[in-house]
Structure 1
């Protein structure tokens, strides 16, 4: 199985390299790229790595790469790659301008609206997931008769009051979190965005009266509302804050903006939210909720079928986020929600599909699909996350929706029959079943949805005839290739023994010397004028201030990465060591000027073979340092990487690094 680092390098390579990326963020399961040229992406090669569950293009510049629950690890590796350090989420968040990134289409303002909702709620998901499981524990305690989940706090034991505080902390102060993330997405100050709704949750504001009262403030009537758990008021307030900040920055000199922009922003936006935007936001939320409640009141049975039949089409487009907001709104205003229960039918039909795919993959010895489906199934059943299943399986094969929708429909029928309701916002998984009422009816609905879709896949397959034939042919070819490779290995070993030259085996403690790939003066890595290299985040090694103009292969191996700009080249040496030579600092910005790349990715190279020629004078004329880091990027898989010299002049081929093996492997 490929390592996180190798997979991250593969992704970066197949999307056109760091120079093709303008922005990178990630959500619960997906890497979210913004690209200069979407046409440079090789989707087929990108999906060839088993860790990549799917690729989704968005408009003309967006690209989502679905990685599953471990997406953060791949993100962390990607931002360490040369040229990627200033494109991550932290770098993006520091920009003062509004970023219209993501979905692109004919009506970009609509696309951005849904992206705005998605990126507002995405950072809060961790807190919501954690709180939803605490709720589940309390509901289980209610089920076993240990406490009454809905009883007033003054009637509950102190232990349970404290546990209620643990989950209510997330939902009560949700407007503050939403205010911060929404402002951040728009480009306004996130802490001011948080302070606006926070003002409406303070004891002083609550002391003015109860929801529905009208009080006199500044000589004007103010209608009081309960803003705890609300999402629409802070969303609208964040939009207002963006425009207020934009206007203030035009009027206030930059030298004093840090003091007076937040001052006037708070002075304007808190009253505006309390008098106007807050009540309007609550009205919007109540209006949408009332519309759905009307449909539910007319026929809960019909709504319970509509919801799971809509979700398979809403989630791929990111259009399900408004419904999540309505669920929270329903619980805040009605005390229960009627969307979450039927939504579970869609989720479990989805998980049933991938479970069926896993069963077939095991029978067919289809390793790649077995990994994809197992990851999707576990993320779904235990975490309630549908994206790995959706992007890894459902959107990749023709027949999957024909297996999915019957499960959604029949599960929705059962949910409608039992009129399933949720009394707390939770994510749909096996662990949160007790949060629904009635539990028995909800569990039956999930089982019907799951097994309907799973059995349809098992008996009717998830692929068309051509897709299945192609997959079986590929599996047969892979098995034949593996068998042939094993035969060749055995033959080679027999030949080596017969000739007295046994096959080389790398054992723990074996050390490989790495020669210098260029001539120059050795510089300690921690003195490199680049934080990532200096901290060893990219890899362990040294740097060289070059005196020559050519980078050569220090040993036999193959080219893993050959940047089109020529500023860097990555090798996998026959010893297993992966070596990166990065010519100069920030030289990717030279866009190839002054560099001549002499090899291509996949080329076989021998010791001393020229890889790149460069012009030091051009590098310095462009204002960049020519110091060249030479680092071992897979150092975590080695026992140690040691610099043989910290200073002094070296010629091409002079030993500069020792790499010590950690595991036994045949090379």
Structure 2
């Protein structure tokens, strides 16, 4: 049960921002509630900052307002959106990431349809990342036991206990079509349960039983000579219905939902609003279940089967080309579920030839995929990106131990389009090595992981190929990054904000150190640009004004200022310089850490209006030009131009004393420091 105190806090916050009627939308990030208001001028900031648990209130450009609540943000957000008075408030159910995704959707790249396609794929799978990782780690566990000879998980006569373990992970992969249909429908803004129901109809025992000729005399089954798979056709109301096992198929639900969205939205225009709840789902199901069963489902299976047959022909006629093409195709087949028919071809090869030739080149793709994930993991450790580090760690473990690529693809690669070109180079590298040196075979069906390397022949060639694919993808991702400059700047600012807010939470109520009366300043900070010196308490950002990022001052440029040089306030080493060029971190020889932050929330400009003349690691001297800022452009973008100069490690020093407010020019002393 939610405590009265928590509910009271939620109600007090809403009341202080002008009440539910003043709230257009509410989202949150790691530490802040983000309000979009009808009129931000009615916010009672003093009252808001007195609410228990609120560490600061931050006005933003326009009618946006942020409330800093630290690590409790999720629970406070949930309580606010669950208030009866907040029912119906726009976008209240969206996360901050959802809002940013919507903003990105309005500003697509040069190939808008490709952006939309990748977003459709990503958003259809991303909510499933947790269960995919969970299932993949179960597979990894079983792969370890299989490799150690504890149990043969490919055997048809496993003990009941191990069959039950199989069910634990197959539950995710078998019913993946229903889950994908739900998310895809949600992405296209139609009833997700209708999408799940349409796909579920093709996976019921009733539908599956139609393929049994002993029960239905009109059902005819044939065997695909190339793939070794059975295909059955039933007579349904006089029409031939091709029956397939849709377990694990994701291409079919993706196509189905795209068609369903058109039908569903058309029906909403046809029926009056007061009867839509009944008749729109009804007619959607009546139309789409037959269309999917008779047309869309078989189309997806035909495409996969045709692809498998074509690859079999290619391997028999041009094996080198086959070894190169397979790892280059898989990155596009797996997200669509079109790789499943190839599994049947692998099993048939083993049964008829005694060996399979597909899994070796496929391993090059898998390890290129895992290498790209390892590159992302390396960068997330370096950049202290906790969320991505967790995602990449789980995906890499599932990949290297279980041979499962879906967590990497759906959780990371489809979200960041820069990964694919780099990963394809790794795929090409591994495929070339396998193709040039005669190919790789295996006599068993195996997940291509570290544990199954010994089952491939020649093992040395396979090991070299997958290691090369892994290394090339990883190095390319690490060297060139997987994010755009805008994404890196956004992530860096989010981490800075979260760290600062948590520091504010941890240090709430703790007084700043007071220097001894006889302490003399041994270091001074100079004004980085011309303007008016103001105390941090007057700065319109709770993080800086609360001194969570250290004591210091703000400098407000003159109203008529255009382009200004940003000067180094101290002599030292440049240790921080984000791609957005809006902030500089300098560490002096006396271990004083100084931050120059040009403007508030200017990271959102992604470098527009900012240039720099220095690089990270440079030695800079007090008064040296670090870069320039187009003050007019910052104002035009709606951001506060106040430039902050703070001593990050204030609490580790003897004293930090800001100078009094007033006009300053570059070179004037603005802060005295006693190390």
Using structure 1 for the length normalisation, give the TM-score.
Answer: 0.49
